[in-house]
Structure 1
């Protein structure tokens, strides 16, 4: 048996028992055990704590023991695995019909054991070995603990051909993305895509929690909501070196963050923080924290940079500025800026019963394919024009309903003064303008104007198009009309 066969055999065991493949930490423990490394050596090599590695290993040995009805530990692991491999049972699916047993946890190795005793004796099970888990316990393990009280309801979801839901699944499950930020203006579907992602990947996680930051809670409040749920302890019971008395939630924010990171290592957790823009400051360039909320940046940085098997998803109108600085090519930190649905938005107009299908592409373009905005304008078209899109489009300028105007106002009020100057200048342009053209007409220093353009792009309030010689910039017709209305 070589190391690949060893890992494949172990993966088959874990998959048959839990319905999940080996995670990265379990593979590290197995590989280190194969190389006869001690737990501290494994922990140092993979940047985990010794206690965490020992805990993962203990649970892994217990799981494999229950599945094989043999007492497995680090010292007899290789011998036991090789014994079964030598008996031509390295592929468990060829030996046991797991799916056909009423009790999926019971494996009958009776005939196999008779053959194996001729060459080597399997390790004896001590009298005080823990009893195998029951199938009910195992089924409980396979179901993640969910707290989706803050999450929106699952409704009709319009997937994006340009960036489908499956791409996010790949980022998280295959590329092990630890920190995913989804940005876009109100109504683009940030919460919808995150909510519909959960059923696709929930079997790969032990804990899943959705929290909204719409009330701008301080980090201490957010951690007190996260840690007891993720650790499944109320309050958590951290060892003394991590701060606080046992059974007492520590008051020190650093100790709380330490507990959270350890929890994300010990359990595979999925955390969704919605409305992250509420902890970011208005009147400044995109991504600056409100005073007193800067420690959220520490949380995001720790989760993005420290190895673990969990994932944090941030939904926000704009990305926190420090996330831009440590987004890199190792796929652990990912940033997705949502735009409109494109042609997929036609399904919204069809469901709303609009007429003049040949005019739908123009309507979708005017409203950027934004699902919420299209639903609002569809109501207007039905109420005023009997669903006739062509008749609506014959009126100029773009009509801003009483429902859409407050949404645009919220975005506009978050802008810094230099951003307002820049977007006002762009709203005067009939055609998209290059950066050079924009700079030649702009008021203010070139450095400040450059920062304004970058900030507006991060907010999703300007569009970048590929011109013949260079990138050109424009703003959506809806936003252009709003800016002109504000100036008047």
Structure 2
């Protein structure tokens, strides 16, 4: 498709609607978007300021919205220009004939509208193409207003390209992301959820994603980043921890999946209009590097619920409501842990939280063991030693102080604790102006009871 033909046609439609032709800067903005330029690049080429170009672009999208009758944005226009294969454009009086493939579409009248075929199958963000076949079912969702607000700000206000949501197994990462999709889906052209539980190669994943994006386009694009630039895409990659080694520090890739790390860096470093969200038990190392570089990459460490977890106690029919906050705090507000423990309280104490908490000397683990074990199985030997040492401490550890541990050096301990933090097993807290580190109390209890198997 010739951009000059599109510019000429667009100018005619704007003139028919407003009585004014497009200004030269407006044409440059359209042409720049066609060439995947950002506003700064367009500003530099036209010797204008970034703010001026952005302001003129906003005016242009408003004009085109009035002409087309749809909500036009930068991502929509880019998609429109690159996806529509206009094979023949000719005027017949007051009608415009556009040829598509083997047929023609006639648009007549003073306010022509683009045919739906020009909208990438998305009706200008009215009906995004969504594939959530790999997503788990959203059964229960507990209030995560703060986290949802943070994610929306990152995506729309800060235009973050790569987001990592990490946290303990079954803490609610998938539920949070599904709720996010529910609230923002109309802001995207494409949304796809893919689980990495079967550990596909990067090549096969890219091929699958490209096929998904290309299904509504007449001309396939060469690379995945081209699709990210051409449309507003949201990609969720779940179970990312399957790419990482067990028995190694957090976020270290298995040899055959090291190219994923380069791919994630490419997503953050290359300009485009899309967002990729990674869901993982562990924080990928690339994210820390990208954040240090001030790249558009963010990390959300998803922790347990606060008072919202009282809904779990209510649903389970627990009694002694005044004790619910203590129970929630004991089990870190983890929704699955609380559901399991609540079932135990019903089974053993007829729902009485007071009776369950009567002896607080030990934290009851019970049916939580399989979940805890699956998390601890991934630890390196160094992390296991550090976890055992942390479990033996009566208070949070200040790493700046001299340590009485001879099994490993201070640098090894720092490395191990940093890795445990990136798994969500150790929490950093502030005490007397110093950062201190505390092992998750449920894991601490388990480790104390099974220390021999971890040593």
- Structure 1 residues 68 and 369 mapped into 2: Cα distance closer, same or farther (>3 Å)? closer
1:221 and 2:186 matched: no
- Structure 1 residues 478 and 268 mapped into 2: Cα distance closer, same or farther (>3 Å)? same
CA distance in 2, matches of 1:235, 1:423: 55
User: Which range is displaced more, 38-47 or 428-437?
Assistant: 38-47
User: Partner residue of 2:366?
Assistant: 401
Contact kept? 1:366, 1:476, Cα under 8 Å: no
Residues 146-187 of structure 1, C-alpha deviations (whole Å, 9 max, x = no match): 1001112233321236x3312211111121111010000012
Partner-residue secondary structure (3-state), 2:208: helix
- 1:40 CA drift (Å): 6.3
1:341 and 2:324 matched: no
CA distance in 2, matches of 1:129, 1:283: 64
Partner-residue secondary structure (3-state), 1:272: strand
1:386 and 2:350 matched: yes
What is the correspondence of 1:233-244 to structure 2 with a 5 Å cutoff?
237-238=220-221, 242=222
User: Partner residue of 1:64?
Assistant: 64
Contact kept? 2:67, 2:113, Cα under 8 Å: no
After TM superposition, the score normalised by the length of structure 1 is 0.70
User: Which range is displaced more, 178-187 or 218-227?
Assistant: 218-227
User: Partner residue of 1:166?
Assistant: 149
1:182 and 2:165 matched: yes
User: Partner residue of 2:28?
Assistant: 33
Partner-residue secondary structure (3-state), 2:300: strand
What runs of 5+ residues in structure 2 fail to find an aligned partner? Answer: 1-9, 15-23, 46-56, 70-90, 99-106
After TM superposition, the score normalised by the length of structure 2 is 0.75
Equivalent residues, number: 378
Contact kept? 2:318, 2:342, Cα under 8 Å: yes
User: Partner residue of 1:327?
Assistant: 291
What runs of 5+ residues in structure 1 fail to find an aligned partner? Answer: 1-9, 15-28, 51-56, 70-122, 243-258
User: Partner residue of 2:3?
Assistant: none
Q: How much is the aligned-residue C-alpha RMSD, in angstroms? A: 3.4
Contact kept? 1:227, 1:236, Cα under 8 Å: no
What is the correspondence of 1:269-418 to structure 2 with a 5 Å cutoff?
269-328=233-292, 330=294, 332-395=296-359, 396-402=361-367, 404-418=368-382
Residues 63-114 of structure 1, C-alpha deviations (whole Å, 9 max, x = no match): 9399369xxxxxxxxxxxxxxxxxxxxxxxxxxxxxxxxxxxxxxxxxxxxx
CA distance in 1, matches of 2:129, 2:226: 18
User: Partner residue of 1:207?
Assistant: 190
Partner-residue secondary structure (3-state), 1:435: coil
User: Partner residue of 1:194?
Assistant: 177
- Structure 1 residues 326 and 226 mapped into 2: Cα distance closer, same or farther (>3 Å)? same
CA distance in 2, matches of 1:348, 1:316: 24
